[in-house]
Structure 1
Amino acid sequence: MKLLYGLHFVLSIGSALAFTVHEVAVGQGGFVFTPNSVTAATGDFVRFTWAAGPHGVAQAAFNSPCVPLASPSSGDSVVFFSGIMSPSGSTMPTFTIKVNSTDPIFFYCPVDGYCVT
């Protein structure tokens, strides 16, 4: 009986640790995110890696695509802003978010003049 309980525990931990990291390049080939959309499950991560700069990643509302969400008190489960970053030599900055919901999350580059509606 103890062996079965222990096996169940290990299988539960293994399934709880299953997630995918979705990679998004920032500024590769111009003022774009590549890919410009991903489909992620709850518990997955999205890692933004800077190919060029200066760029940033900020969450926005669908109806205000170039305006950052102000704070978690806005009612959204995820509010993020990477800050403005640039690669330095061979060092490419990264910024990672955890997906807490399958609701769409909208993001843009907050550098002045880069986001066009």
Structure 2
Amino acid sequence: MRFITLATLAATALAAVHVVEVGESGQKFEPQTISAKVGDTVIYHFYPNHDVAQAAFDAPCVPFNGGFYSGPFSGTDSGKKKFVYNVTTTNPIWYYCTTQNHCQNGMVGGINIPTSGEKTIAAFASAAKNTNTERPAGLSGGQLEEDEQIASLTASSSGGSVSTSAPSSTGSGSPATTTSTPTGSGSASTPSSTGVADNVKAPVTGVLAAALGFAAWLL
């Protein structure tokens, strides 16, 4: 039993942190796709008039039922407002920017997206060209944080580098939720993180120390 507990703590401590720049150089997620494991954390850095919302492959530019949404960001504090998302599956996760026309213009991205076959990021972007963008009602599936609040998260992770390669997994999302039409570029204020579900953020701060302490106790 002690061995299993230690292994679990060690695995959590080695979770990676992936950083995605949202709109730093135009209508782009950079990197566009990342490979992530269960327990990893993705931090989206926002630049004015951009956001991130989960979608399904078969319904690009439309909110995914039960998916995450950062809320809109129209401020001028570039790169300092961040959305923290905890990865809970290895299945492909598709997302887009809800600002008017950005999704249609190719501002889409994803986690664990196949690199071949019919459901690639290129196919998702192509399908988005002829759709209408919809925006979720409010913040969900993640947490908004400022720089100082997540500094320890990135510092304590052993895998804090940006992932640029896409995985070979397959799959697609489920039907979209009931949504509201976006109000246009930069027209809404940044939402509060109050009321976010408890399981949406899994900080690794202190976990490695706990694992090492537990190992010492075993000895």
Matching residue of 1:105: 93
State the one-letter code of the partner of 2:28: V
CA RMSD after TM alignment? 1.8
Asked if 1 retains the 8 angstrom alpha-carbon contact of 2:20 and 2:43, the reply is: yes
How far apart are residue 48 of structure 1 and its match?
Answer: 0.3
The alignment of Structure 1 onto Structure 2 pairs a total of residues equal to 103
Residue 88 (structure 1) shift: 3.1
- SS for the counterpart of 1:13 is helix
Q: Which amino acid aligns with 1:111?
A: T
1:52-111 C-alpha deviation (Å, 9 max, x unpaired): 211110000001111111x32xxxxxx101011145346611001111111000000001
Partner in structure 2 of residue 95 of structure 1: 83
- Look up the SS of the partner of 1:59 in the other structure: strand
Matched, 1:30 2:23: no
Superposition pairs of residues 28-107 of structure 1, within 5 angstroms: 28-50=24-46, 52-69=47-64, 71-72=65-66, 79-89=67-77, 92-107=80-95
- The amino acid across from 2:72 in the alignment is I
Matched, 1:17 2:17: no
Tell me the distance in 2 between the aligned counterparts of 1:49 and 1:64: 25
Give the number of the structure whose residues are more often helix, by fraction.
Answer: 2
Using a 3 Å threshold, how does the CA distance of structure 1 residues 93 and 13 change in structure 2: closer, same or farther? Answer: same
TM-score, L = length of structure 2: 0.43
Structure with greater strand percent:
1
Pair 109,90 (structure 1): closer, same or farther in 2 beyond 3 Å: closer
For the residues of structure 2 that align with 1:56 and 1:90, how far apart are their CA atoms? 12
CA distance in 2, matches of 1:61, 1:34: 20
- Write the distance in 1 (CA, Å) between the matches of 2:40 and 2:83: 14
Aligned to 1:76: none
Equivalent-residue separation in structure 1 for 2:53 and 2:80 (angstroms): 18
The 2-side partners of 1:48 and 1:90 are apart by 12
Unaligned runs of 5+ residues in structure 1 are: 73-78
Unaligned 5+ residue runs, structure 2?
105-128, 130-219
Q: Percent identity, please.
A: 35
